[in-house]
Amino acid sequence: MTDDTQPQPQQQPYYPPRPPYDPAQPITTEPGTTVWPSGGHVPSGGHVPPPTGPAGPVGAFPAAPTPHRRARRGVGLMAAVALAAAAIGGGTATLVQQWTADGGTSASSAVSGTNVSASSKGTVAGVAQAVSPSIVEISASSNAGKSTGSGVIITGDGEIVTNNHVISGASRISVQTSDGKSYDAKVVGTDPDKDLALIKLEGASGLRTATLGDSSRVRVGDGVVAIGSPEGLTGTVTSGIVSALDRDVTVAKDDGGQDQGQGQQYDPRQGWPFEFGGQQFNGDTGSSKTTYKAIQTDASLNPGNSGGALINMNGEIIGINSAMYSPSSSSGSSAGSVGLGFAIPVNTLKADLDDLRSGGAG
């Protein structure tokens, strides 16, 4: 008997002939990266085998690789477009950055509160170019002779600060600005105790003014620039550092143009007599004298620098040069600077300005 439970023979499935094998082609997205449509990693020169596994239903054909290849190529195209957009975007950002930088430079052409250009900040040349137009040469004539000093323009209509000893007892004061123009000047006020004076030019307007800084912020070792007219050499620029602060400097007070102290006149070739550290320099200070706290500098100062400016590297006035030591040569003339100069702190000047404008204390 035949066992009904035995499996019945089944009809063999029909497999149509496969189409010729067309290996998938790699898609290159960027240098060094290759994507194969099969999703697998195939070494260079390798072969992608046909898919394996159970056969599909009768009459079914394996899925053609073309749709996958098109999809992958679409991804590659999108990646290429993204890379191009990134490159363009980066270039645009670079252009914007350059434009912004250029705009920033032109928009900030000067250091805030000063005449120093931003590109020249911190340089002697930049400070000299910015401040020199605000420094003048002063010639004072009196019965005792003629002396030469310097001054600092503080208002556009010609208010000028200088040392009292530069204009003391003068019967006539003439001033020459950095552009070569000459003006007559009158004394507004003097303060012999601080060796300060204020004069005013006649008929002046539109002058370049100096920026007064803050001498309380000055530190030993700070770079400084001195501008003045030593020996009548208008607009001479020297530089150095702040050597010390709060030096007690004693100078002779003026005597109304008469002889100083013990019958000794001020000789502009030797500089104004002063005392420092218990020693006398440039002659006898006499019996009438005053002492003030000074900024010491090694910037070269010579006779004629008196009343000129000591300037920080931002172009701000931090002191009025007032005393300098120049040892005498055998001929009796000044032998030059030895790096021992002193300036009246600008804060002393600022505190005294109202008094000077009202006639001063002298």
Catalytic pick among 195, 254, 267, 298: 195
**In which residue are the tokens 């320099």 written?**
281
Q: Among 282, 263, 258, which residue's Cα sits nearest to residue 333? A: 282
Residue 182 among the catalytic residues: no
Catalytic pick among 142, 150, 165, 326: 165
* Amino acid letter for position 150: S
Rg (CA), the chain: 44
Residue 195 among the catalytic residues: yes
CB 322 within 8 A of CB 344: yes
Residue 41 among the catalytic residues: no
The residues pairing with 240 across neighbouring beta strands, listed in sequence order, are: 224
Q: Give the whole-angstrom CA distance, residue 57 versus residue 47.
A: 27
**In which residue are the tokens 């030993």 written?**
220
The pairing of strands 279-281 and 135-142 is: unpaired
Q: Give the whole-angstrom CA distance, residue 259 versus residue 268.
A: 14
Burial, 70: exposed, middle or buried (Cβ in 10 Å; 0-12, 13-18, 19+)? exposed
CB 224 within 8 A of CB 238: no
Q: What share of the chain is helix, strand, coil (3-state, %, to 5)?
A: 20, 30, 45
Catalytic pick among 150, 178, 306, 334: 306
Residues with catalytic roles: 165, 195, 306
